[in-house]
């Protein structure tokens, strides 16, 4: 079931901040890159921005020859192989994996690295680059999103560690059907307070 979310700007922030929303791949180390899944721009004070967070995710891959696979529906506990076929390279489901909480994308080519992407709503949620032959990318996500105000971020782009360290609000979506995400705080001068993000009007599934 998709989750209906509605970002509401009730802050005092005068700067035109961009709001970034992303998930972290918890299957890997703390140095793992994170991708700006959703970026909300130009949402002024008093305005709102509805969006959908799908529960379904998909997987796609690309190879060193510049070929991109179609998206395949990705399920936890499954392995997907990027391998050489009769007509060329392609991504296929390869059955059950070692963990019910993870999605594995394996480079089954004889040579050439691949990039593996997890997608939500047609946008890149997470990526692993330069996966060598015989190696695999592992993805696992908690039912949470991270949200914060940043500057000069592009949707779908990899965020550097400095940007990620500035985003410290994690919101649980476990069992949520719909909710508002309200931003408060900010403002000019000495009276400025840190921006906060809270879930309100939560409807459980």
Q: Each residue's pLDDT tens digit in the chain (205 positions)?
A: 899 999 999 999 888 789 999 999 998 765 667 999 999 999 999 999 999 999 999 999 999 999 999 999 999 999 999 999 888 899 999 999 888 999 999 999 999 999 999 999 999 999 999 999 999 999 999 999 999 999 889 999 999 888 888 898 999 999 999 999 999 999 888 888 999 999 999 999 9
Place of tokens 């599934």: 205
C-alpha 77/C-alpha 97 separation (Å) is 5
pLDDT at site 56: 95
pTM, 2 dp: 0.93
| Tokens of residue 67, six digits | 């070929």
Q: Which residues contact 72 (CB under 8 A, 6 or more apart)?
A: 58, 59, 60, 80, 91, 92, 93
pLDDT at site 32: 66
pLDDT at site 136: 95
C-alpha 176/C-alpha 197 separation (Å) is 16
pLDDT at site 187: 85
pLDDT at site 127: 94
Domains of the chain from N-terminus onward: 3-54+142-204 (2.60.40), 57-139 (no CATH)
C-alpha 90/C-alpha 81 separation (Å) is 8
Query: Per residue in 120-176, pLDDT tens?
Result: 999 999 999 999 999 999 999 999 999 999 988 999 999 988 888 889 899 999 999
pLDDT at site 17: 81
């Amino acid at each position: 079931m998709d989750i209906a979310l509605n970002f509401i700007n009730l802050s005092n922030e005068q700067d035109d901040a961009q709001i970034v929303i992303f998930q972290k791949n918890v299957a890997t180390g703390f140095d793992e890159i994170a991708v700006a899944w959703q970026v909300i721009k130009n949402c002024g004070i008093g305005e709102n921005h509805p969006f959908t967070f799908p529960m379904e995710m998909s997987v796609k891959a690309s190879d060193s020859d510049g070929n991109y696979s179609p998206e395949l529906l990705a399920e936890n506990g499954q392995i997907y192989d990027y391998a050489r076929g009769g007509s060329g390279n392609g991504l296929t489901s390869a059955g059950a994996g070692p963990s019910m909480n993870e999605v594995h994308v394996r480079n089954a080519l004889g040579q050439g690295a691949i990039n593996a992407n997890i997608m939500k709503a047609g946008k890149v949620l997470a990526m692993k680059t330069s996966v060598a032959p015989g190696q695999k990318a592992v993805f696992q996500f908690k039912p949470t999103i991270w949200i914060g105000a940043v500057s000069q971020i592009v949707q779908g782009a990899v965020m550097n560690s400095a940007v990620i360290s500035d985003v410290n609000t994690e919101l649980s979506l476990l069992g949520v059907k719909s909710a508002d995400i309200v931003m408060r705080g900010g403002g000019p001068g000495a009276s400025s307070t840190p921006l906060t993000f809270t879930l309100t009007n939560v409807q459980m599934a």
